[in-house]
Chains A and B, each alone.
Chain A
Amino acid sequence: MSEYVSLTIDGAKIRAPRGTTVLDAALDYGICIPALCHLRDVTALSGCRLCIVELVKDGRSKVTTSCTLEAEEGMVVLAHSEKIVKARKNIAELLVAEAPNSKAIQDIAVRCGVKKVRYPFRHNNCVLCGKCVRVCKEIWQSESLGFVGRGHNRHVALPYNTRPEYCKHCNYCIDVCPMTIVPCPGSMKKGEEFLCGQCESQLSMAANAPDTCVMCELGAGFGCSRRHT
């Protein structure tokens, strides 16, 4: 067995090391698939659902998240079909309406083509991407944080809401949090939120080639490292 597999994403033939996910393969190649909860080196949560793709198999397509989909030989994936782009835009709109006070999320919204937010803004401080929870558990083996509650009560909390003794004070949870950097126009007050959209000009080329990396600065917020390495 070769160490590499080749697969097709949006028509591009990509060679990727065996065991990588379709999302990582696409990002490395330069196909832009936005994601919020994705972090390399920790288990996929597949919660934000932004990285959805269509997996075409035997003439049928199935929508699944690319962060949990392992690249396999001969796989055919559509990351920017009309259906996917529309759904992704809707999810980005939901996210930015939920937590507009984050540069990362504003950037994702712009990148996904959100022009207008049709829902009332909700000024939430957490979108439950679970990055903090997973780095704490998997990288620092500390498990000081976790998801607590169900459904609309779900939130990130410390055990019994106090910082446990075994918390290593590494602050990695804060480093990975997408909510720590406020949007460029500054912190938005409750009731005064809006869709920033200042960086839309960076995407002038993106309309013609929605699936390729246009070297925008927007990916910094969601961990796309292409422009920055």
Chain B
Amino acid sequence: MTILECPPTVDLDAAKRILQARSGNGQSELIEVLQDVQRTYRYLPEEVLKLIAEQLDVPPIEVFRVANFYKAFALKPKGKHLVTVCMGTACHVRGAPRFLDEVLGQLKIKPGETTEDGLFTVETVNCLGACALAPVVILDGQYHSHMTAAKLRKLIQAAKKADQQATEAVRLDSVKEFNDYRKQKAEAQKSRTTTVILSSGTCGQACDSLKVVEAFRRELKAKNLEKKVALRVTGCHGFCEQEPLLIVEPKNIFYCRIKPEDVPEIVAETLQKNQIIDQLLYTDPATQQKIVHENEVPFYKAQERVVLGQNKLVDPCNIDDYIASGGYSAFLKVATKMEPEAVIAEVKKSGLRGRGGAGYPTGRKWESCRKAKGTPKYVICNADEGDPGAYMDRSVLEGNPHAVIEGMLIGAFAVGAEHGYIYVRNEYPLAVEHCRIAIQQAEKLGLLGQDILGTGFSLDIKIARGGGAFICGESTALMASLEGKVGEPRPKDVHTTEHGYLDLPSNLNNVETWANVPSIINRGAEWFASMGTRHSKGTKIFALTGKIRNTGLVEIPMGTPLRKIIYDIGGGAPDGHKVKAVQTGGPSGGCLPEKMFDLPVDFEALTEAGSMVGSGGMVVMDEDTCMVDVAKYFLTFLSDESCGKCVPCRLGVSRMLEIVTDITHGRGTMEQLDLLRELAETVSLTSLCGLGKTAANPVLSTLKYFLPEYEAHIKKKKCPAGVCRELIHYTIDKKECTGCGLCVKACPHHAIVKQGKFCRIIDANCQKCGICRDVCKFDAILVN
């Protein structure tokens, strides 16, 4: 087999860059351009020559003639290593012809030809101008003097060997080789007794985790602990509120909110003397007790971290971590011991449903893609997580990209796909980067590409970056975007599993769905199905944010009551406030009031209640949140992000926004409320895609559960939460005001003056910005 470095289809980008740098002077640039092309491609591909003719405005025949005329140009691909033998007079008399014959015989080629394996090309040149050193040979740009037949033979063998090592060291060709590799890596990990795990996902990095990592590296080196202590920089652990987090294994000591200054102390005390540093421990806000071990933290204790739990086991940029912790074994099991149908049956039995929001049974989707006609098939990972208030996909992709890749490998095996894409938001640079590294490492090891581990199964995965459009998370819009088109959805009368990307069968699943697949294969469908409710199985990650004590990513079995999530894990609202509602499912979801908190969280129960699991955002709201304002917020978001293709979504959402804005400005009428409800129903019934179909949920759910708030806005012209600017009024409580004058100084609109002992607000100037309220130390500013 010939391994040609240049693929049959030529990538024209490099040629375009060359042309860009040299264009302008027509034919006079031709040879220069050809030289550059020759150097880059190692030959002159026909496509490039055509492009050059076009760009330099030179007749094609002229380019062809020049390319054929000069010796430096080759029209066929040259070998990976180029041997240039000087045939100058000096070299000739010192015996060049003899070793040329020798090397040609060794490689079984003639001068100017390339060996069958595509590795070597031998060329002769009339004089290299290094006659004093004759005979001279250039191998891959490096000059070798005083050449002899024996020396040249050695050189060539060394080049061959270096090649082999380069490929052998990284590429695994069989299952046995893979298992040996895993053992070797696991052994290597055991040699270090202590592991310091540092979370450094996006949240971590926002809290200076990179500086902490740097400090650790320095400190470990200075104390000569590098051989004993392993430092593992991982993705997000989920407890984002306390970032950066640090765990010292095997003792499971848990430190939070680490600063770079703390590092020397941690190394000296905890790592060297086994002492626990009290002030870095986590304090339970409920009991004010210090907690030493990670598994005792209440936030983690109530969770079931099947997917997220893996994040702390692996360095996302190091495939060896993932392999050593048992990674890719599920894929091996599937590829060597199972039939695709059996894989689909297993996933079906597990009851796994799409984690992206709609909850479509994954096994059923795979089955219809497997049955669909047309090749090649595609598997696509949807990482276009655009919902405000959800970031679990980012965290998984960032913290454990290999789990997603392994899931895709299993899925591709099951549906019979040959190509894969990960469509990821460009707003997630770290996820893009980690994904890229993971794919590269997997390709190098031979876990992606042709004939993976000798199983005969092939899959390649590419990354496609989104361009900042919420709608591209919708399956048909995503595929249009992958094709390089405008991301507009199409009617789904025909499913994407039959006609998807490039009109070919395409299986699209969410990041979290893919990441769940390896565990299902490894631990069995029964294990997965044992968690959750009747129709919703397994665990789901939620992003718990908003007015709550412990913000972060929470993974719980389906069917866990909202109350448990919000109070036991989330710790309730901070500062003595009372939780009023929780918004689930992002812009497609709805708001559920406190009285519904005993609702088990699963696909059916939430949908029935008028909300949705959606992508898994959970934004907690307290009495300071105005529900009409929340509805307005989501409508604004949706009217910005609607693609505008269909009337109900484009006009309907903008009319809903118009009505809700009227209400928040105190211009609303009760008739408008009926119209709003009617319109919301029409939009959800008639819209083209999922965005429009669920766009009414924020309005319908707030209307259903928080009607009194709407009525207060309309009838009393009051905003009970004190949010809607047009309806609120700032006053100063004379009982509390000490006349300190802080608010007077702080007010940027000169709306507060000091009058005697107290401050007074001038209503005409007041912009209701709330700065006075923030600075007042006595809570003397009232909003009503």
Q: Residues on A close to B: CB < 8 A?
A: 36, 44-50, 52, 63-65, 68-70, 83, 86-87, 90-91, 94-95, 97-98, 118-120, 127-128, 147, 149-154
Residues of B627-656 at the interface with A, using a CB-CB cut-off of 8 Å, are: 639-648, 650-652, 654-655
Verify if B679 is at the interface (C-beta below 8 Å from A): yes
Do the beta carbons of A151 and B486 come within 8 Å of each other?
A: no
Verify if B491 is at the interface (C-beta below 8 Å from A): yes
14 contacts between A and B (CB under 8 A): A36-B647, A44-B491, A46-B688, A49-B686, A64-B491, A90-B678, A91-B647, A91-B652, A94-B647, A94-B652, A97-B651, A149-B644, A151-B639, A151-B640
Q: Which residue of A lies closest to B648 (CB)?
A: A49
A90 to chain B: closest CB distance in Å? 4
Verify if B57 is at the interface (C-beta below 8 Å from A): no
Q: Which residue of B lies closest to A46 (CB)?
A: B491
A179 to chain B: closest CB distance in Å? 15
B657 to chain A: closest CB distance in Å? 10
Do the beta carbons of A151 and B686 come within 8 Å of each other?
A: no
Do the beta carbons of A120 and B648 come within 8 Å of each other?
A: no
Do the beta carbons of A63 and B648 come within 8 Å of each other?
A: no
Query: What 3 A-B pairs are tightest by C-beta distance, nearest first?
Result: A154-B644, A90-B682, A94-B651
With A63-B686, A87-B682, A147-B486 as given contacts, are A49 and B647 in contact (CB-CB < 8 Å)? yes
Add 9 more A-B contacts to A49-B647, A147-B486 (CB < 8 A): A46-B490, A46-B646, A47-B646, A86-B682, A91-B648, A95-B651, A118-B675, A127-B647, A151-B641
Do the beta carbons of B491 and A150 come within 8 Å of each other?
A: no
Q: Which residue of A lies closest to B488 (CB)?
A: A147
Do the beta carbons of A150 and B647 come within 8 Å of each other?
A: no
In the bound assembly, the distance between CA atoms of A145 and B652 in angstroms comes to 25
Do the beta carbons of A154 and B643 come within 8 Å of each other?
A: yes
Partner among B654, B687, B688 whose Cβ is within 8 Å of the Cβ of A152:
B654
Q: Indicate with 1 or 0, residue by residue over B57-73, a CB within 8 angstroms of chain A CB atoms.
A: 00000000000000000
With A46-B688, A68-B491 as given contacts, are A152 and B675 in contact (CB-CB < 8 Å)? no
A117 to chain B: closest CB distance in Å? 11
Interface of chain B, helix or strand or loop or mixed?
helix
Q: Which residue of B lies closest to A64 (CB)?
A: B493
Partner among A44, A69, A87, A152 whose Cβ is within 8 Å of the Cβ of B650:
A152
Verify if B469 is at the interface (C-beta below 8 Å from A): yes
In the bound assembly, the distance between CA atoms of A21 and B686 in angstroms comes to 18
Partner among A48, A64, A90, A153 whose Cβ is within 8 Å of the Cβ of B646:
A48
Residues of B within 8 A of A97 (CB): 651, 655
Verify if B268 is at the interface (C-beta below 8 Å from A): no
Do the beta carbons of B644 and A151 come within 8 Å of each other?
A: yes
Residues of B within 8 A of A52 (CB): 685-686
Name, among B641, B650, B686, the residue most crowded by chain A CB atoms within 10 Å (CB to CB).
B686
Residues of A within 8 A of B655 (CB): 94, 97, 119
With A49-B648, A90-B678, A91-B647 as given contacts, are A152 and B686 in contact (CB-CB < 8 Å)? no
Do the beta carbons of B685 and A87 come within 8 Å of each other?
A: yes
Residues of B within 8 A of A83 (CB): 685
Verify if B658 is at the interface (C-beta below 8 Å from A): yes
Residues of B677-691 at the interface with A, using a CB-CB cut-off of 8 Å, are: 678-679, 681-682, 685-688
A169 to chain B: closest CB distance in Å? 26
Do the beta carbons of A68 and B686 come within 8 Å of each other?
A: no
Residues of B within 8 A of A48 (CB): 646-647
A19 to chain B: closest CB distance in Å? 14
Do the beta carbons of B643 and A150 come within 8 Å of each other?
A: yes
With A47-B646, A154-B643 as given contacts, are A69 and B493 in contact (CB-CB < 8 Å)? yes
Residues of B within 8 A of A64 (CB): 491, 493
Partner among B490, B641, B671, B686 whose Cβ is within 8 Å of the Cβ of A91:
B686
Q: Which residue of A lies closest to B681 (CB)?
A: A87
Residues of A within 8 A of B491 (CB): 44, 46, 64-65, 68
Residues of B463-478 at the interface with A, using a CB-CB cut-off of 8 Å, are: 469, 471
In the bound assembly, the distance between CA atoms of A154 and B647 in angstroms comes to 12
Residues of A within 8 A of B469 (CB): 150
B706 to chain A: closest CB distance in Å? 23
In the bound assembly, the distance between CA atoms of A154 and B642 in angstroms comes to 10
In the bound assembly, the distance between CA atoms of A70 and B650 in angstroms comes to 26
In the bound assembly, the distance between CA atoms of A46 and B471 in angstroms comes to 17
A36 to chain B: closest CB distance in Å? 8
In the bound assembly, the distance between CA atoms of A70 and B493 in angstroms comes to 9
Residues of A within 8 A of B643 (CB): 150-151, 154
Residues of A within 8 A of B645 (CB): 45, 47, 128, 147, 154
Residues of A within 8 A of B650 (CB): 128, 151-152, 154
In the bound assembly, the distance between CA atoms of A45 and B643 in angstroms comes to 13
Do the beta carbons of A47 and B647 come within 8 Å of each other?
A: yes
Name, among A48, A97, A149, A150, the residue most crowded by chain B CB atoms within 10 Å (CB to CB).
A150
Q: Which residue of A lies closest to B487 (CB)?
A: A150
Residues of A within 8 A of B652 (CB): 91, 94
B469 to chain A: closest CB distance in Å? 7
In the bound assembly, the distance between CA atoms of A90 and B654 in angstroms comes to 14
Do the beta carbons of A128 and B644 come within 8 Å of each other?
A: yes
Do the beta carbons of B682 and A152 come within 8 Å of each other?
A: no
Do the beta carbons of A49 and B644 come within 8 Å of each other?
A: no
A64 to chain B: closest CB distance in Å? 6
In the bound assembly, the distance between CA atoms of A69 and B679 in angstroms comes to 25
Q: Which residue of B lies closest to A36 (CB)?
A: B647
Partner among A69, A91, A152 whose Cβ is within 8 Å of the Cβ of B639:
A152
Q: Which residue of B lies closest to A155 (CB)?
A: B644
Residues of A within 8 A of B639 (CB): 151-152
In the bound assembly, the distance between CA atoms of A14 and B650 in angstroms comes to 34
Q: Which residue of A lies closest to B672 (CB)?
A: A118
In the bound assembly, the distance between CA atoms of A170 and B242 in angstroms comes to 65
Do the beta carbons of B682 and A91 come within 8 Å of each other?
A: yes
B386 to chain A: closest CB distance in Å? 13
Residues of B within 8 A of A119 (CB): 655, 658
A37 to chain B: closest CB distance in Å? 9
Residues of B within 8 A of A150 (CB): 469, 471, 641-644
In the bound assembly, the distance between CA atoms of A142 and B572 in angstroms comes to 61
Residues of B within 8 A of A86 (CB): 678, 682
Residues of B within 8 A of A149 (CB): 644
Partner among A63, A95, A118, A151 whose Cβ is within 8 Å of the Cβ of B647:
A95
Residues of A within 8 A of B647 (CB): 36, 47-50, 91, 94-95, 127
With A63-B685, A119-B655 as given contacts, are A94 and B648 in contact (CB-CB < 8 Å)? yes
Residues of B455-512 at the interface with A, using a CB-CB cut-off of 8 Å, are: 469, 471, 486, 490-491, 493
In the bound assembly, the distance between CA atoms of A120 and B687 in angstroms comes to 22
Residues of B709-746 at the interface with A, using a CB-CB cut-off of 8 Å, are: none
Residues of A within 8 A of B646 (CB): 46-49
Name, among B647, B682, B688, the residue most crowded by chain A CB atoms within 10 Å (CB to CB).
B647
In the bound assembly, the distance between CA atoms of A170 and B666 in angstroms comes to 51
Residues of B within 8 A of A120 (CB): 658
Q: Which residue of B lies closest to A148 (CB)?
A: B486
A132 to chain B: closest CB distance in Å? 15
B486 to chain A: closest CB distance in Å? 7
In the bound assembly, the distance between CA atoms of A100 and B365 in angstroms comes to 44
In the bound assembly, the distance between CA atoms of A90 and B641 in angstroms comes to 22
Residues of B within 8 A of A127 (CB): 647
In the bound assembly, the distance between CA atoms of A91 and B671 in angstroms comes to 18
Residues of A within 8 A of B658 (CB): 119-120
B656 to chain A: closest CB distance in Å? 10
Q: Which residue of B lies closest to A127 (CB)?
A: B647
Q: Which residue of A lies closest to B674 (CB)?
A: A118
Residues of A within 8 A of B651 (CB): 94-95, 97-98
B430 to chain A: closest CB distance in Å? 26
In the bound assembly, the distance between CA atoms of A86 and B680 in angstroms comes to 12
In the bound assembly, the distance between CA atoms of A50 and B639 in angstroms comes to 20
Do the beta carbons of A49 and B493 come within 8 Å of each other?
A: no
B488 to chain A: closest CB distance in Å? 8
With A68-B491, A68-B493, A98-B651 as given contacts, are A152 and B644 in contact (CB-CB < 8 Å)? yes
Residues of B within 8 A of A69 (CB): 493
A149 to chain B: closest CB distance in Å? 7
Residues of A within 8 A of B682 (CB): 86-87, 90-91
